[in-house]
Amino acid sequence: MKLGALASAAGIAMPEACDALVTGFAIDNRKVAPGTVFGAFEGTQVNGEDFIPAAIQAGAVAVVARPQATVEGAIHIVSEEPRQTFAQLAAQFFSPVPDNIVAVTGTNGKTSTAEMTRQIWRMCGHSAASIGTLGVTTPDGSVSTGLTTPDIVTFLSNMSGLAREGVSHVAYEASSHGLSQYRNEGLHVTAAGFTNFSRDHLDYHETMEEYFAAKMRLFDEVVSDSATAVVWTGTGEWTDRAIDHAQQRNLRVFTVGEQGDSGPNGIRLLTHTPTQLGQELEVEHDGNVRTITLPLIGAYQSANALVAAGLALATGCDPSAVFDAVSRLQPVRGRLERAVITQAGAPVYIDYAHTPDALESAISALKPHVKGRLITVFGAGGDRDQGKRAEMGRAASAHSDVVIVTDDNPRGEDAAAIRAEIMRGTTGATEVGDRRDAITEAITAAARDDIVLIAGKGHEQGQIIGSGETMRILPFDDVTVARECAANVGPKLETNS
């Protein structure tokens, strides 16, 4: 493809007429080959502009960079927002892409909702995939990308690879980092879901307002003009503000939840009754009331399932098929996943809660099922929002009977210091640094009527220790460790009081 043609298709002005052949796109000079367009971005660690000479040396035909960057020996595509311009250009290169693309944003619930949307589409007969924290998931399995929203080149090439394999429907997770760094642009996104909003990532976005604005780029700029905004109504003032953004953009607003529209533009949740193995939901859509038995526990899972149903309806699926599919949803890896039942008889659940709101949601999901005590084991990641740690401690202490604070990906920080920050928010919690020891302690303490919740790592397969050159990932899977500990801890002779 010729550079000039790509630029004019993207509506980008070029400094000169250009019929250089473009062979690919790269944001890392080490991935540049002859004919590549290189995106030189200022980063949080280094300035990509420092690698422009190396990229040109490796054969870059053009460099997208700020006006002040020096580009010699290749075309300088000047932009005040190089990440955005690069993305728009790259989106013209990667084709074909799937016909039906939807996105999901929100503080918690993105992975679950994207994955449930994929499952519903599949049950409606479509060839579907999801892209997010779990990687790229197709009916054949998942391939990890390492990030929730991959970098723009990986994202677009995944989209086009999926289309070539015959995938027609893709749901992707739009993280706030991804949105603010233009990692997902230039596609025809026909619907976008907003699950909820609460504190996270205030290390990266300085304020909640900035964090919310990053998320709202999805409605403001990323989706197509005629897209549908599927909004969960249970997230307080943020729901109203998300609807405002959608209306400003003239999107079709589709509301979901207790305040959802009961007509064609929503799913109203009329009643919600926990059962032993799941929950019964009575919902109204387009004037039809239906009772669905969702085979998953926890109010948060019903919220995600209904937003996913809204996304499937927004892409034209038949309502009866969609609601029937909701009653057949499979659990999402690491989200309230029951790993094992201990020899004493206590179920052990693994969940990915790593924000105060998520911890509260995970605990509330389990509470109706606990006859004895709820024992919560969790930590907080290093090099991430520090202010959420004590809040997570408070949420855990307020809603569980026993709290054990442990390590969760310390990264470049001192693990003991992270635990101390969490402990400040707790009352009566125990601190056990080593995660395996903490899980053993919880399982040892659990009696028949108790439930153990191990939160924060969900599907993750390793503990990240150190950063930069010294970073190591030690294999660690909460599900496997819980099973091993349960095998080693014998039955209890008497129940705890």
Ligand X SMILES: N[C@H](CCC[C@H](N)C(=O)O)C(=O)O
Crossing angle of helices 319-326/110-123, nearest 10°?
Answer: 120
Handedness of CA 162, 168, 171, 172 (dihedral sign): positive
Each residue 445-464 as x (binds ligand X by CB under 6 A) or -, in order, gives: -----------xx--x----
Using alpha carbons, select from 278, 280, 256, 252 the residue that is nearest to residue 269: 256
Size of site (CB under 6 A) for ligand UAG: 21
Contact 299, 364 (CB under 8 A): yes
Angstrom distance (rounded) from CA 342 to CA 133: 29
Measured distance CA(4)–CA(475) in Å, rounded? 48
Q: Does 46 bind ligand UAG (CB under 6 A)?
A: yes
Judged by CB, which is closer to Mg ion: 313, or 358?
358
The reply on whether position 385 binds ligand UAG by CB under 6 A is: no
Output 39 or 106, the one with its CB closest to ligand ATP.
106
Nearer to Mg ion, 51 or 197 (CB): 197
Does 337 contact ligand X by CB under 6 A?
no
CA distances from 356 to 132, 181, 367, 412 (A): 21, 25, 16, 22
Residue nearest to ligand X (CB): 381
Angle between the N-to-C axes of helices 388-399 and 415-423, in degrees from 0 to 180, rounded to the nearest 10: 50
Residue nearest to ligand UAG (CB): 43
Q: Which of residues 92 and 112 has its CB atom nearest to ligand ATP in the complex?
A: 112
Give min distance, CB of 485 to ligand UAG, in A.
Answer: 28
246 φ, ψ (degrees, to nearest 5): -65, -40
149 carries a ligand binding annotation: yes
What is the full DSSP assignment across 409-432? --BTS-HHHHHHHHHTT-SS-EE-
Residue 371's binding partner, choosing from ligand UAG, ligand X, Mg ion, none, with beta-carbon cut-off 5 to 8 A by kind? none
Residue ranges in contact with Mg ion by CB under 5 A: 110-111, 133, 148
Please report where in the chains the tokens 């009754």 appear, as a residue. 273
Q: Is 456 annotated as a binding residue?
A: yes
485 binds, among Mg ion, ligand ATP, ligand X, none (CB under 5 to 8 A by kind): none
Considering only 177, 252, 367, 448, the residue that binds ligand UAG (CB under 6 A) is 177
Per the CB < 8 A criterion, the answer to whether 282 and 270 are in contact is yes
Point out the annotated binding site for meso-2,6-diaminopimelate. Answer: 384, 408-411, 456, 460
Binding site for ligand ATP (CB under 6 A): 106, 108-112, 133, 148, 173, 195-196, 300, 303-304, 335, 351-353, 357-358, 361-362, 458
Point out the annotated binding site. Answer: 106-112, 148-149, 175, 181, 183, 384, 408-411, 456, 460
